[in-house]
A and B are shown apart, each in its own frame.
Chain A
Amino acid sequence: MNRRESLKLIAIASLAAAFPGCTQEKIDDAAHRAEMSSEDGGLSERTPSQLSAAEYAMITMLVDLIIPADSRSGSASDASVPAFIDFMMEEAPEIQNPLHAGLAWINNSCEKQYGSEFVDLSQEQQTSFLDSIAYPDSASPDMKDGVTFFSTLRDLTATGFWSSKIGMTDLNYTGNTPQASWEGCSHEAMSHLGLSYDV
């Protein structure tokens, strides 16, 4: 049974529940809403409203360094993570200043260290710089602001990437689908833990 058929069955089951006031139109509407699966909540068409063009370019570069493409899936920007971050800044104004300030901090530090802004550094310079702020336990105390910012950016990148369709597919997430029955976790999942339902 595919997802579309499952949803149809659920709509029929709802009809069987014989709701007073619940017309066929309402059920059709609900089924339609459930089927109208947007792939990314409109993020790929978003025009940035919070980040400047320069900031957006820099964020795009940074999130792809955090989550690059590999053999299983695309990169963070392939999953519209820069647009997600811009949206979250609109949604959660408390992260606006930390993000603007963090990007500026990185550029300042790069200017001091290399004489250029982050996006203009060579790949080796970029990774060398990120190494100084990406590992909280071994970073030097003067990099603390950068470390805090980078942890925030890493969290936003991860949430934006793994909750996207690309991310869920990469994880092989198979839930959010009606099941005919519940038989417990798979044999593979149980035996990975050395467990069995038979004991």
Chain B
Amino acid sequence: MPFIQSTTTYDVCIVGSGAGGGMAAYVLTQAGANVVMLEAGGDWDTVRDGDMLKYNYESPRRGRGTKTRPFGEFDACDGGWNIEGEPYTKADGTDWEWWRARMLGGRTNHWGRISLRFGPDDFKRKTIDGKGDDWPIGYDDLKPYYDRIDRMIGIFGSKEGVYNEPDGLFMPAPKPRCYEVMVKNGAQKLGIPVIPSRLSILTQTLGNRPACHYCGQCNRGCKTSSNFSTQTVLLPPALATGRLKIITNAMAREVLTDNEGKATGVSYIDTITKEEAQVRAKVVVLAASACESSRLMMNSKSSRHPNGLSNSSDVLGKYLTDSTGGDVMGFFPQLVDSPAHNEDGVGGMHIYIPWWLEKDKTLGFSRGYHIETWGGKGMPGYGFGGGIQRTNGKLDGGDRSKGGGGYGLQLKDDYRRLWGAFIGMSGRGEMIARRENYCEIDPTVKDQYGIPVLRFNVKWSDEELLQMKHFQETGNEIIRKMGGEPLWDIPSKEDNYGITKPGQIIHEVGTTRMGSDPKNSVLNSNCQAHEASNVFVADAGPFVSQAHKNPTWTILALSMRTSEFIVTEVLKRNLPTA
């Protein structure tokens, strides 16, 4: 097999080009470090490759998902739940769905841009409810980084003064859409607060990035760089320093170590030519996504690291969590026959329902959830009008004697009348990190490159199930207060109250968690491996707990903090004056 070895020794090798890897590349190159970045997927250029402003009718598929684009053919994420030649396995009786992006910029190309700070309570849940563990750092440690990211990347929102939903440095938030005003009014009748959402989308010009043009298609990749993805926001300035080399189609195989157990570089396989190669570096930053980074560490065995890199504690792969998820949906008679209007707005919700029962100790579950909303008259695409027989029988006018369904002129008009008459809500909650939820190396299965794959072993507990039961009940109650009818009954206990499968919300965090005690953590509070001082993790792997919040903003803050530590404490250089 051909083998390529580079003669260059880089200051830093970063594995992965998503939120964590992109931020690391930005900070390190600005500080003068020579950096090489390995990305398992191919090149991606949003301007060249994105599908912003395409009509669904330009494709015979009408936007439907494909094998390599499960969220829709125009969604800017190459990868998905099942990647040919890259399997993963699950222990008997357990579920795990693992989304992997294989492209420059990773999941930041299509993500929901929901950019929430973890709050003071989110770092010390054990102190509050006795479950899981506290982080070795607190909100005050991360606040300066959140502030800088807000200014640097851009985010809209509003000052609300909610203790555990810290305000950021926000651009003005867009007005709610009309159906979002309905949600707000309905929730408020139940005493549930509704605030403007917090998304990393520009509502004002920032540097050379223009404000949003409100096409509602952030997930297709923004050709004007008006939202955040690493490929449009962090990698260009990093590349402009001349100190970043990006190698795409480079599947990392192993972190290489020397006799002292310190990293010397990374070996990888070129996924196109199948050639084995190595890059040498003084520091290795893993940002391949939580589970990929721990897989890489588990596969990096040596005499100094017989149980995988920095894993004498056996904690590597443990404490894996995903957000809980559930959906409710309602039909709203007052939205029937509503006049056509453009409500694309930004590519995501304009309102947000943060967890509002922090002080209630009678719920029967410990951790909170937030509610996201969706609806409106979006661009018709694949799935439009599906299942109309469940609702058009309820319309007034015409002959309804036979019930819903039908055909002909009346049906055709029903589709027009019902367009935009449905509103949905999604609950997204915190799962408690537990040692017994983990990933490990499957003893027999290997991927097409011969790299051992992960076997998952994750189960929800009653904590998560009861939390989603509460969401289902609350969501349907909000729908009724809004004057709507829930489209389905609350799923039963036997159906786990409709909770998603673990992994499906794509917020996998943990597995290389940080801590002050090397016996029960993989990394120290600087995301530095306890047993290999030049190895760092910069994705969601270091998270000690999940919070109900989307992890990206915290990944970025931690990666910025970790990268500055690498510059000043490991490479012994000065940070550029900001």
Contact = CB atoms under 8 A, between A and B. Distances in A.
Interface of A: 6-7, 10-11, 13-14, 16-22, 26-27, 29-30, 34, 37-43, 46, 65-68, 70, 83-84, 87, 91, 130-131, 134-138, 150-151, 154-155, 158-160, 162-165, 167-168, 170-186, 188-190, 192-195, 197
Contact of B384 (A42, A163, A192, A197): A163
Contact of B378 (A46, A155, A175): A175
A188 B54 CA distance: 27
A166 to B, nearest CB: 9
30 contacts: A6-B213, A14-B47, A18-B236, A19-B45, A21-B45, A22-B47, A26-B47, A30-B47, A38-B57, A70-B413, A87-B61, A91-B61, A131-B402, A135-B403, A136-B405, A159-B383, A159-B386, A162-B384, A163-B62, A168-B55, A170-B416, A171-B416, A174-B340, A175-B344, A178-B215, A179-B214, A185-B177, A186-B339, A193-B182, A193-B335
A131 B52 CA distance: 42
Contact of B408 (A40, A68, A176, A184): A68
B209 A158 contact: no
A80 B381 CA distance: 15
Nearest to A178: B213
B459 to A, nearest CB: 30
Contact of B342 (A65, A134, A177): A177
A22 B181 CA distance: 41
Interface in B70-92: none
Interface string B382-421: 1111111100010000000011111111011101100100
A80 to B, nearest CB: 9
B223 A158 contact: no
Residue from the set A14, A41, A181, A185 with the largest chain B CB neighbour count within 10 Å: A185
B346 interface: yes
Contact of B412 (A14, A70, A175): A70
B382 A185 contact: no
Nearest to A90: B60
A159 B48 contact: no
Chain B interface SS verdict (over half): loop
A40 to B, nearest CB: 6
B244 to A, nearest CB: 10
Interface residues of B, number: 82
Interface in B2-54: 45, 47-48, 50, 52-54
Contacts of A183: 175
B62 A197 contact: no
A87 B224 contact: no
A14 B223 contact: yes
A14 to B, nearest CB: 5
Contacts of B52: 10, 34
Interface of B: 45, 47-48, 50, 52-64, 174-178, 181-182, 185, 203, 208-210, 212-217, 223-225, 232, 236, 239-240, 334-335, 337-346, 377-389, 393, 402-409, 411-413, 415-416, 419
Nearest to B212: A182
Nearest to B346: A182
Residue from the set B62, B346, B403, B415 with the largest chain A CB neighbour count within 10 Å: B62
B408 A66 contact: yes
A177 B343 CA distance: 11
Nearest to B216: A175
A87 to B, nearest CB: 5
Contacts, number: 243
A84 B56 CA distance: 13
Contact of B174 (A20, A182, A189): A182
B432 to A, nearest CB: 38
A41 B60 contact: yes
Contacts of A177: 53, 215, 342
B338 A189 contact: yes
B407 A134 contact: yes
B415 A172 contact: no
A70 B409 contact: yes
Given A84-B60, A176-B344, 19 more contacts: A6-B213, A30-B47, A40-B60, A91-B61, A135-B403, A135-B404, A155-B387, A171-B340, A175-B344, A176-B215, A178-B53, A179-B213, A179-B214, A179-B215, A184-B176, A184-B177, A193-B182, A195-B181, A195-B185
B57 A165 contact: yes
A172 B338 CA distance: 12
Contact of B236 (A19, A162, A171, A174): A19
A176 B379 contact: yes
A67 B411 CA distance: 7
Contact of B55 (A19, A22, A26, A37): A37
Contacts of A158: 384-386, 388, 415
Contacts of B48: 22, 26, 29-30
3 interchain residue pairs of minimum CB distance? A137-B403, A158-B385, A184-B175
A165 B60 CA distance: 12
Given A67-B412, A159-B62, A185-B178, A167 B380 contact: yes
Contact of B182 (A134, A135, A195): A195
Nearest to B335: A193
A14 B174 CA distance: 23
Contacts of A185: 177-178, 341, 343
A145 to B, nearest CB: 15
A46 B380 contact: no
